[in-house]
Structure 1
């Protein structure tokens, strides 16, 4: 089903790794959709090293086969997307669980200007035994909720494998993952890059394979959750850090005056020590959020909003050093004052409770000041201008065709 590059509207891309049992059915459904709808398109099989004859099945049916040597779900899909000739791409697994015969809602949304169109299996219908209960009632709802919370993703089925997009837009946002995290990365990067996203109902039926699926529930679920956390420094570091720092600092300051009793519960020096430690951990988390954001932006992994960019511009190394030195010196002054008081007692025994109560804010100032100084120097390292590293250009379609056998 070859088409001229400038006349191909839709590429239907399927990753493939030993899908001989179901591949023909999927290709025939996709080709049937193209014939019925009149959409000018192609079927692209991104083969990831099949050994069961999947490539020959695809070629006999007229599909284009792109051999992708780099292993992984994401690698296979990116290989197929790069080689695709269509203005739009619809991707879906080749296990006969997705309805390639009914892609009209996806194409309609793409033609209306959507840059990413997600399928929603919960709205379209999930046939019995098509999705394990663990995925249906825990995995997908939880990960989708996390994605909506972290990234304001306007989708209810974050990991539906049937999705369409404008090829140019997806190539532009810089996708890097090679494994199962690719499904999450497409949505996350699309949200962070401000792409226009819509959602359409789609159905899911039990796949037609006799072998177990490649997916491993707990391992791959954790990989997706880990990806969402790493790409959201605010939720991973900033918000928990601010809460811990604020609570710990307030508790430490309150107990600096003396013991506090709430009802029948008393809080004293022991609580103050733990509160100070909590404040230190929270402060570290806040600094980590800034460093992660800066590093991610520098490496092209995380986009930086205009507001955050303005904040970073004001966060100079010199200002950070001054702040850190001020905090550190405050701790030093408290320490010196305590030593002077000890000298006034001829360096003899002093009230242990009062000594510790004074030492805690001194140590807190020393630690937070030192952390701020080190953080400022590290951000200075991240901000050193470097010659831009040559980036791998998107393979031109002529070269992508060399992969097609």
Structure 2
């Protein structure tokens, strides 16, 4: 009997070497799909035979209790049990057991047209690393996709994916897709849920793999129960994953915008109150402008640090533009700039004390002294943050290789 430890290794293990005479493995994650699994397996096997593709159909069963395993075996599939729950775990376990040079994945609910698999293989043979199906190009049958998914969720998430990762993929979340075993190894996937679909695309783009699309049809699934997919929850998980993989949009752009707004507004308020029609902005707004600069700097610096760490850890490849200016972000440059800001902050603070002394160290008008105190405090805190961030960046840049000299 296979123990839990062995099953865990099966899920997390890399793709094994492909069989020399097996070109394609069709992987179908399955959880209680007795109504549709037979038709899906037969459709895939018929497509393999008709196109003359040497392949197999592998069903990654995630604990079905309705007899799906026996039905899949009877239809000609190889069934691999995956004990660890989760869509991503089922796929990763099935892919780890695949024997083909190419792998095509698709749900076993009857919604995807496995007869289209030859068009995926054709692109892979031509050199593509990942071939995505596009349901919006191929056609969506009536009732196959809820209106909120078709007109809101998928278009918005696909647009965000194209914007964040500069790719032309039109259907980011089509479940029918194919890739080479070598490309899969390079992706080094980590997620265990529905986010796996996004991770495959994002890492393919970030690692510079060749990604193409082919049209495919989405059919109404053959289940007699609600689907496992929960649109709002899983949609948020996809969006969250894309945001975390794109520090430019999550941290860098918002941080730079906050810093710019804070500096411009603060510079306008330091000389005196700023009348705007019936509203007059004063030192209270100056304080919030300083806070915006601090938060913006934290966000922008976190974007730089997280991107550098991702490159260093092999989660994404280096970019020429990033490397070009990143070499100027040294510990020494950070210490010089940070020390300069600290010195400016001390100077402004001493100026405020000097002004207070000129008033006999008595009561003061906040609108007068805070125009020196707030910029002084901002420079002190910003300078210290810059120094500490520079030291942390220096730690990340240390050579941590463990190989012998």
Q: TM-score, normalised by structure 1?
A: 0.91
My pick for the range that moved more, 97-106 or 177-186, is 97-106
1:199 and 2:203 are equivalent in the alignment: no
The one of 317, 323, 328 aligned to 2:342: 328
Q: 1:378 aligns with which of 385, 388, 392?
A: 392
Question: Please, which runs of 5 or more residues in structure 2 have no aligned partner?
Answer: 1-17
Stretches of 4+ aligned residues off by more than 6 angstroms: none
CA deviation after TM superposition for structure 1 residue 108, in Å: 1.9
Equivalent positions of 1:221-370 (< 5 A) are: 221-370=235-384
Query: How far 1:316 sits from its partner (Å)?
Result: 2.3
**What is the alpha-carbon root mean square deviation over aligned residues?**
1.7
Verify: 1:22 aligned to 2:43, yes or no: no
Change (3 A) 1:388 1:122: farther
- Residue in 2 that maps onto 1:46: 60
Offset, 1:96? 0.4
Cα deviation for residue 264 of structure 1 reads 4.0
Q: Which stretch of structure 1 is more off in the superposition, 7-16 or 290-299?
A: 290-299
Taking the aligned partners of 1:100 and 1:275, their CA distance within structure 2 comes to 57
Cα distance, 1:71 vs structure 2? 2.2
Relative contact order: is structure 1 or structure 2 higher (C-alpha 8 Å, sep ≥ 6)? Answer: 1
Q: Please name the residue that 2:172 is paired with.
A: 158
For 1:384-399, what aligned pairs fall within 5 Å after superposition? 384-387=398-401
The CA distance in 2 between the partners of 1:332 and 1:71, in whole Å, is 58
Asked if structure 2 preserves the Cα contact closer than 8 Å seen for 1:95 and 1:208, the reply is yes
Counterparts of 2:169 and 2:147 in 1: how far apart (Å)? 21
CA distance in structure 2 between the partners assigned to 1:381 and 1:17 by the alignment: 46
What whole-Å deviation, never above 9, does each CA across 1:83-124 have from its counterpart, x for those lacking one?
222221111000000001222321222222211111111111
Secondary structure at the counterpart of residue 103 of structure 1: helix
Task: Provide the C-alpha distance between the structure 1 equivalents of 2:366 and 2:281, rounded to a whole number of angstroms.
Answer: 16
Offset, 1:306: 3.5
Task: Report if the CA contact (8 A) 1:27-1:61 is conserved.
Answer: yes
Q: C-alpha separation between the residues in 2 aligned to 1:317 and 1:272?
A: 31
Q: 2:49 is matched with which residue?
A: 35
1:169 aligns with 2:153: no
What's 2:233 paired with?
219
Kept after mapping to 2: 8 A contact 1:75/1:178: yes
In 1, Cα distance between equivalents of 2:285 and 2:192: 47
CA distance in 2, matches of 1:125, 1:93: 17
